[in-house]
Structures are given as structure tokens and as C-alpha cells.
Amino acid sequence: MMRSTLVLAVALMVLGACSHRQTMPDLDPVTVQKSSFGALADGTPVEQYIVTNAVGVRLRVMTYGGTLIALEVPDRDGKSGDVVLGFDTLEPYLTKSPYFGCITGRYCNRIANGRFELDGKTHQLATNNGPHHLHGGAKGFDKRVWKALSFTDGDEGGVRFSRLSPNGEENYPGNLHTTVTYTLDNRNRLRVTYDAFTDQATLVNLTHHSYFNLAGEGSGSILEHELTLLAARYTPADATLITTGEEAAVAGTPFDFNAATAIGARIAQVEGGYDHNWVVDGDHGKLRPHAELYDPKSGRALHIASTEPCVQFYAGNFLDGVAGKGEHVYAKNHGLCLEPQHAPDSPNKADWPSTILRPGERYRSETVFTFSTR
């Protein structure tokens, strides 16, 4: 990847920031290639799709979990590196993945005691994280094989995953039809859009769960990455990571990332490390900046915009020596997640933006990951 091409791409990205579909002169179209990524024990085939743009970004996604397996992005010298943690083969994704790169749902993050009330009826979900429900239960959206359709359209291309989650799956009510689309464009933007509808009132809170390391997966700690979170408030949580219901000001605390700050600068002041939800400034439902992550070593920057009300910043505190790609071993803080979403345990917090979806309504959410260098 030529540095001049990257500079051109970034310049065009800034100029055309609001438009998805602006002509990019002299750039090759985005391409998509499909191949096998193995099969489940029962023989169900799993496919992978390689999406490549004209300015040096290439990603791989698979039908198991709609998982982003790899995301290669140039550094400030044009050298490509894979910036997401993961595995080389399917098998470890089936048996030991800490939600690497997946679509997370039906309800991402935690629901206290796995219990919620909807229209007067109490629903009991799996408690798969201590006493709580996490990331959709024992077999959430991350552990399902999705249907996939690839598409290309000049300066963008990608994969559309879809799936019917049947009424009663993981004890959630309602047949939920979900579509999640990953679109890569020639401005180094990866757009993830979510769309769902149901035939009975249910809960929906979907996110994408990549563990980023902008210096390259396997290169060690992310504690020197600089993070900006555009949020005046966060939602404090108890020792089991259930939100207390309070929205606290970040000012004067280690949770204030309004000015870019190294993640490691204050992490020791936060018991257990960062694993919290920030209430992003501005109106939810509107695509607006949530976060920026910058790695001073490689010069890679990741900007995240989303329509979601909050963003969960998880500093990879529970990574405990996961044998990942190549010979890489992922230890504590070797990757971090920035997950736009509704706040944890929203179904039990009446004052917070609702995660209930009813028949006739449409769930829509969009998150844009934009890569650049400086």
C-alpha cells in the first residue's frame, strides 16, 4: 500500500465524510471473495468472505457468529497489520473464543440475574456469567451460523448476514429476524448496520465485539493506546459489573477520556480495569462520534461513530493467555473492545433508553469504524 494512496484516501474521507456514495476517481472497485472456513461437528459448512478495498484494507468475516476474523490495515509507513485478535482456524472459535469479533446478541452485555419483565410477564434467561446473563446466553448470536450474501458496488462492498432467531431461543420471546451488514469502502470505513423485526415483544441490543490492537494483534499490551470517549457521563457498576442505575459525571475521575489519554495512565485506579459503559454525548439514534483510538507506535487511528446511546469500553482485563493467531498468546490487556450499545441491564432500568422491540417496529442501528494514520 503506497503512502500517497493512503493520504489521498484520508483526504477524500475527510472531504466526503457525510456521503457514503461519492465517486472515488481512479480507484479499483472493492472486491469480495468467498471460500470455505471449515465445518461444525455436525457437518454444517462455514464460509469466509475476504473483502478488499483499493487502498490497502482487507477484512475476513465468516458465517459462524458473523465474526470478523481479520482486519488488515496499513500503518503510517504503509505497512499492513492485522488489528483484531482471533484464531487461524474455526475450531478454537467453537470452543474457547471470548467473543472475538462476533455479532453479539440477542442482548449484548449483562442482564441482572438473567431476569426481566415484559408486559407483566417475567422471563428467566440463562445465567452464564456468575449470577448474570451475558451476550445472549449459552448459545447466543455469536455461536450461530448465519446466512450470507456478498455484494460489491464500485467503491464499496461487503457481506450481509441474516438469521431467524426462533421464538424461545435462549428463552427470549418472539421470532426475531436479524440482518447485519458489513460494508467496507474505499475511504477505509467499515460500516456495520443492524436491522431486526419481531412478531412478539422482545429485547434487542446488538453490537460488534472485535478486540482491537492497533499495533497489530499479538504485539502486546494496548495500555499505551490513547483513547478519546466523547462522553460526559458513564454508568457505574457493582463488583459483578451490573450497572447501579446511576449516571455519574466522568469529570475528575479515571473515566474521563474527553481528552485523548493513554489507557494505562489511570487503569490501576479502576478496580478490575476498565469494563464500563459510557453515555455518549448527543442524541442517540443519530450517527455521531463515540470514540477515537490511536496507537502512537504504528500511527494507526480508529474513529468510531454510532447511532447507539452508549459505548462499552472493555480493556481486555479477562484475557488470560489465549493461544491466538500464529504463535501469539493474548494476555491481559492485549486487546480492547469498544462496543456501541444500549447500557447493560437496560431492561431493568426503566429510565434508560428502551431495548424492547415490538411487532410492527423496526430495530435499526449503525456503527462506522474509520481507519486513518498520522
DSSP E strands in 15-120: the ranges are: 31-39, 45-52, 58-62, 67-74, 80-82, 103-104, 110-111, 115-118
Residues 160-199, mask of contacts with ligand BGC (x by CB under 6 A): ----------------------------------------
* Identity at 254, one-letter amino acid code: P
Q: Is 169 a catalytic residue?
A: no
Cα–Cα dist 119/244, whole Å: 23
Burial call 75-102: b when 16+ CB within 10 Å, e when fewer: bbeeeebbbbbbbeebebbbeebbbbbb
Cell numbers given for 162 = 441474516
90 φ, ψ to 5°?
Answer: -70, -40
Residue 65 is a binding residue for ligand BGC (CB under 6 A): no
Triad 11, 207, 114: Cα angle to 5°: 160
Strand partners, 299: none
* DSSP type of residue 228: E
Closest distance to ligand BGC from the beta carbon of 109 (Å): 6
Instruction: Kindly name the residue from 47, 156, 217, 339 that is annotated as catalytic.
Output: 339
Identify whether the C-beta of residue 181 lies closer than 8 Å to the C-beta of residue 160. Answer: yes
Residue 339 is a binding residue for ligand BGC (CB under 6 A): yes
Pick the closer one to ligand BGC by CB: 214 or 337: 337
Residue selected from 37, 49, 99, 197 as contacting ligand BGC according to rule CB under 6 A: 99
Residue 98 is a binding residue for ligand BGC (CB under 6 A): yes
Residues 344-373, mask of contacts with ligand BGC (x by CB under 6 A): ------------------------------
Closest distance to ligand BGC from the beta carbon of 207 (Å): 8
Q: Is 209 a catalytic residue?
A: yes
Identify whether the C-beta of residue 359 lies closer than 8 Å to the C-beta of residue 198. Answer: yes
Pick the closer one to ligand BGC by CB: 47 or 275: 275
Cα–Cα dist 77/298, whole Å: 8
Which residue's C-alpha cell is 481512479?
A: 26
Closest distance to ligand BGC from the beta carbon of 332 (Å): 12
Residue 318 is a binding residue for ligand BGC (CB under 6 A): yes
Give the distance between the most distant pair of CA atoms in the chain.
Answer: 60
Residue 226 is a binding residue for ligand BGC (CB under 6 A): no
Residue 314 is a binding residue for ligand BGC (CB under 6 A): yes
Pick the closer one to ligand BGC by CB: 50 or 343: 343
Query: Could you tell me which stretch among 7-15, 87-95, 159-167, 310-318 binds ligand BGC (CB under 6 A)?
Result: 310-318
Name which of residues 233 to 252 contact ligand BGC (CB under 6 A): 241
* DSSP type of residue 131: T
Residues recognised as catalytic? 209, 339
Would you tell me which residues interact with ligand BGC (CB under 6 A)?
98-99, 109, 241, 275, 312, 314, 318, 337, 339
